Structure 1
Amino acid sequence: MTLTTENPVRDRHALRDSHDLDHLHGLMSLMTGAEKHGPAASSTLDALWVLYDRVLRVAPETAADQGRDRFLLSKGHGPMAYYAVLAAKGFLDPALLDTFGQYDSVLGHHPDRTLVPGVEIGSGSLGHGLPLGVGTALGLRAQGLLDPAVWVLIGDAELDEGSNHEAIAYAGAAGLDRLHTVVIDNQSATHGWYGGIASHFATAGWSTTTVDGRDHDALYAAFTAPHPGRPHAVVAVVEPKN
């Protein structure tokens, strides 16, 4: 890799991310099987890594703390990237990865919050995660826990589900500014959105941005952008699903 001197901070991140992504791809390669939904998993890898490496305030030793940030994987079909990131960050023993999908494995084709350390919700059925994120943000607010952030990662196809429309409308009207949504856009939605995905969130009162879902610095800037008084949606555009 050739480095420039124009942005040494970005260059250091690029070096680190290149090494880390090689490691993550190696961890993902340990998980095999016909039902692994490889493209669905790969589409989320960069966003997941930037969140866990540079944004989320949660670690194995703080996974039960009330003040932790919450990450909800709604795009739970094809969770290989999620498991790889959890293993890289110490939530999981990497030796478990080659048991993925086996009958007696804790690593199912959909994540199970009762079996996998660090997992906040059981997921995989489209459209459930964002409504659960709204409820989580409301619950934290009701308890006076105003600091923890709630992050939900969804796929663009999940926006075909009516439950997400209701969650988007309510969160904007309620000003749930600790709620964040990452939409992985690999052009797999059936209907699509006039004006783009971000416009639907913006119309409902959300702060929005659309970025290259493979650019780690762009993802980090989008994830950490200020959005006082409003929930925040980041549309991460990746290559189309084959």
Structure 2
Amino acid sequence: MPLPVWERPEPRPRATPVPLTRAQIADAAVRLADAGGLEGLSVRKLARELGVGPMRLYDYVANRSELLDLMVDAVYAQIADADRHTGWRDTVLAVMRRTRAAALDHEWFPDLLGARPHLGPHALAVAETTAAALSQAPGVRDVDDLQRALGALNAFLVGALRREIAERRTARATGADLPAWQAAHGPYLTRMLDTGRYPTVARLVVDGAHLDAEDTFHRNLTTVLDGVAGMEHPA
């Protein structure tokens, strides 16, 4: 089996006017994905951005999968800079806030979360920080508890980030903000709620406020961590 991209040495420099490294390739790919999403990223566009021929990139990455690995780890490098705290809860909160900030800066990033393990050095550093902090939670007694706690935290994180990014994308694609959406769908929804078959949904629609995304993320994350801290164990 070939060595992972993380362990392969950089190709020997060529006698060309354009120096190249995997870090430069990752940075350029991130810029392209930020501008046009993953669907707008191609080897040809990336090569043009770097000022090299497309085939030269294959000296550094074997395929698109390795390119995505490099991009993901470049984002994890931003998350790994989260402030260090002594308490387990504050540490996890810091990492999760940095992850959300990175996802808002790089909307393609949540698309790649949860799909497969991220094994780059910065991704592993974030995983170590998170796992080490959760291992100190009062409800985590052994490695099985730690796995469950990590699973719950990651499930919340992926779901919350994908939903928030999806809402942003939809608003941009349709040009419809909340008032416009309400104007378009309000009459139908009013007719359905007037049937009386959906009283709890009616309460949410009529009495519920449009919650702030950042505040909601923090409150729901706190709820997850409260559950981790108080995890019950069978007798």
Q: Which TM-score tier does this pair reach, normalised by the shorter chain?
A: under 0.3
More strand by share: 1
More helix by share: 2
TM-score normalised per structure 2 = 0.27
TM-score normalised per structure 1 = 0.26
